[in-house]
Chains A and B, each alone.
Chain A
Amino acid sequence: MSDELNNKNQQEEEQYSLNDDRRVKVLSPGALVVKRFFRNRLAVLGLIMLIVMFAFSFIGGLITPYGQAEQFYTYTYLEKEYVGVTRNNDLRYAVAEGQEFGTILQAQFLLAQSKGKDSFEYKGESYAVAEEGPDLYSISKADGTVLAIAYKDIVNAADGMEEPTFPVKYGALKAYVNKETEFSAEGADYALDEDGNILSGDEVIGYISRFVVAPKENGVTITRDFKERLEEALETDDEEFVYVGEDGEEHSYSISYDASALVWSVKQETATYVYDTYARPSYAHPLGTDNNGMDMLVRLMYGGRVSLIIGFIVVIIETFLGVLLGGISGYFGGWVDNLIMRLVDIFYCIPSMPIIIILGAAMDNMRVDPQIRMLYLMLILGFLGWAGIARLVRGQILSLREQEFMTATEACGIRVSRRIFRHLIPNVIPQLIVTCTMGLGSVILTEATLSFLGLGVKFPFASWGNIISDVNNSYVMTTFWFVWIPAGLCLLITVLGFNFVGDGLRDAFDPKMKR
């Protein structure tokens, strides 16, 4: 008080110029509120939290390259049995043209071969066995014509070539086992390279290999090229190799040896195009993806948008109804007041959460379109929540209308509607703002709870509540933290922000505040 007096005296003594800083000592009520608000650290923290969440939800959705319901795909690699490879350890037979070499003869030959004899007899005829090289035998009749050969290295026709004739086979094998590089058969010259290819001039007509490669799937043809690559891998004991197929795509193969069956099984990794579900956080998806292969971060942004918009619209509906009915009730009093207050009592008494759950279940049953459902949700929440605001407004107005300024408005002959909405309501606004700010937080919580139960906002729309509802699958809860923890934190931060700001505003609007 004495300070003010001092100021006054000083002002009288010396004239301050209009833009003198010292003149501006007195703050308007609004400025005082702002000053008190910003002095409250929690309130400022809440304001920052809200600004961040709003920016995240509304601006974030604009600058992100992905859409709300954009699904992402990925390749998963499945190992499929491709071919089986065995190393040939049995003697095989090739019979010369026009000759016969039946199973009995084969048995006789094997007997002779195992005993190391160079001839055997069958049905009075004698056959000569000659070892032409390692694992290559020729069987000839008494007159010296070669009847058949027994071998372990196998002569295959090259891709698209005809099966080599018996003399060619014979010649090729003889050269192969004796490590020669040339041979001639049927009057033609052939060459043999170190890979076992049989060349006629420059053309490969066949190749020799100890391995038998059999496809495990129908419709798979195995090229010579692939076989060569495979043999190379087998010889160097590689467990994996990469081969570029005829379609130009690179496939990787893994080799495993089954010792009991003496088979190498070769598995091909085939790519399948699927939704990229529950992908771990990565550069492309900082918070991973959800169970529909949608980017979590983008879902969070759009979810925030939905939650905030629903919160605002519901609070606007509540406030509109509450101020209207509370204002009328408080101003007129009498039977109007009585009637409206009994209505408020009834709405206070209606258990809102169960009612919303029932309505949500009913909408599920009627298969309401998700967008219209959101609208209904807002209307229901707003319609069930106005009673508290009406009670607040009425109480304030009851005390305000007895004050002198209201008598003055009456004396001036101002219209009733104007008196209520221009002179009474503005005096209620500070309290109203506080209630609405805190109400926003609780509406967002209610919406999230409903969406969590699957009765609020529905797919394809995102909401923080329905993002968290993924935890109903306990595998998701325990394994994929990035799916639900960020959504919960967003929800917590937003509601906390509203509560901090509301609390700060309550203190700031309070003229009795010491600070």
Chain B
Amino acid sequence: MRNYIIKRIIISIGILFFVTLIIYTLIRCLPTSYVETMAIQLSSKPGSKPYEEWLAQLNASYGLDQPILVGYLHWLGDFARGNFGDSWKFTVPVVEEFKSVIGVSFVMGAISLILQLVIAIPLGVVAATKQYSRSDYIISASALVGISLPTFFFATVLKLIFAVKLGWFDTHGLVGRTYAQLDSAGQFLDMCAHLVLPIVTLTIVSVGSLMRYTRTNMLEVLNADYIRTARAKGLSESKVIYHHAFRNTLIPLVTIVGGSLPGLFSGALITETLFSIPGIGYVSYQAMVAGDIPFTMFYLTFIAILTLAGNLISDVLYAVVDPRVRIA
């Protein structure tokens, strides 16, 4: 087991190397809009150097005059030593900006994941046990509707109904206008109120796939021989389903949920942007659009690490949860 994990981690590091190389090359090949914009600004000041000189100076100071491969190795060395550089757009160290925004994203993701589990698993089990019934049709159809909902459209509809027409929530931001005057409990409640719509959006658009996954696995388990045996020996239907079948359905569920845990830190780019929640998704969107290379590189590498970690966790959990699986 330990050997397996070590082997996987080594492979993952190899993959990460190539992924970051590809991303770095891609970003460097693009027109460096940020540096150009800054050079234009600086050169337009009275008595300033011409644009070309500023551009050359800025490129040199940001390390953009090196060839791509050299630049990449330079970046990699810094990254390995834990030096992630300073964000151009936010003009603070990348890590500092990251630390200040990751909390909100994590809270949003975690609450949404809990809600998804609470909604999806019971409904998925019900749909599978009553296959082809009216409730199965309704659950399956609404799961597909959730998957098919465009996040931005659904979020806008929610905003229109609950923020504009009913006026229950604000349309944008994490804190309200009166935030500074509230006491700490009030501030907490204010933040919670601002997170309601984003979390509802996140939950609704992603609950569908988990629901379908539960249903599919439950159906598979219900067709297994040991279920037939359990029924044959005269167990009550509820015992068959909730004692024998459901436990076995949990195996794939645990692995997929375990695999999605690292994803809680990756933020919800679209949802956060739509609701202007200052989480990692929104901040990195701003950084990407502004051409902020250090922050973008950090974010993309971070996401890649999270993906790899998720895969690794789900594979390992699979072996841990299911005693039939042996990892060589």
Contact = CB atoms under 8 A, between A and B. Distances in A.
Nearest to A515: B132
Nearest to B154: A488
B309 to A, nearest CB: 11
A500 B289 contact: no
A496 B145 contact: yes
Nearest to B141: A42
B150 interface: yes
B151 A366 contact: no
B144 interface: yes
Contacts of B289: 357, 361
A349 B284 contact: no
A484 interface: yes
B145 to A, nearest CB: 6
A40 B304 CA distance: 40
Contacts of A452: 150, 152
Given A357-B289, A362-B33, A488 B22 contact: no
Contacts of B157: 485, 488
Nearest to A362: B30
* Residue in B15, B137, B284 with the greatest tally of chain A CB atoms within 10 Å: B15
Secondary structure at the B interface, as helix, strand, loop or mixed, is helix
Contacts of B273: 453
Contacts of B300: 351, 354-355
Given A353-B269, A354-B303, A449 B150 contact: yes
Given A345-B15, A351-B304, A488-B157, A358 B27 contact: yes
B224 interface: no
B128 interface: no
Given A42-B141, A474-B171, A492-B148, A354 B18 contact: no
A503 B159 CA distance: 31
B261 to A, nearest CB: 17
Contacts of B269: 353-354, 357
B156 A471 contact: yes
Nearest to B31: A365
Given A354-B284, A496-B144, A488 B303 contact: no
B114 interface: no
Interface size range of chain A in the complex? 35 or more
A350 B288 contact: no
Interface residues of B, number: 48
B303 A346 contact: no
A445 interface: yes
B19 A478 contact: no
A361 B33 contact: yes
Interface string B150-166: 11110011011000100
B164 A365 contact: no
A488 B148 contact: no
A80 interface: no
A346 B20 CA distance: 10
A43 to B, nearest CB: 11
A206 B42 CA distance: 73
Contacts of B152: 448-449, 452, 465, 468
Contacts of B291: 361-362, 365
Q: Which 6 A-B pairs have the closest CB atoms?
A: A488-B153, A495-B148, A362-B30, A496-B148, A351-B303, A499-B144
10 contacts: A342-B14, A346-B19, A349-B308, A354-B303, A358-B27, A359-B30, A465-B152, A485-B157, A488-B153, A491-B153
Interface of A: 41-42, 342, 345-346, 348-351, 353-355, 357-359, 361-362, 365-366, 441, 445, 448-449, 452-453, 465, 468, 471, 474, 477-478, 481, 484-485, 488, 491-492, 495-496, 498-500, 503, 512, 515
Given A342-B15, A354-B300, A500-B141, 10 more contacts: A42-B140, A42-B141, A348-B307, A355-B23, A358-B27, A362-B33, A365-B291, A449-B150, A477-B160, A512-B223
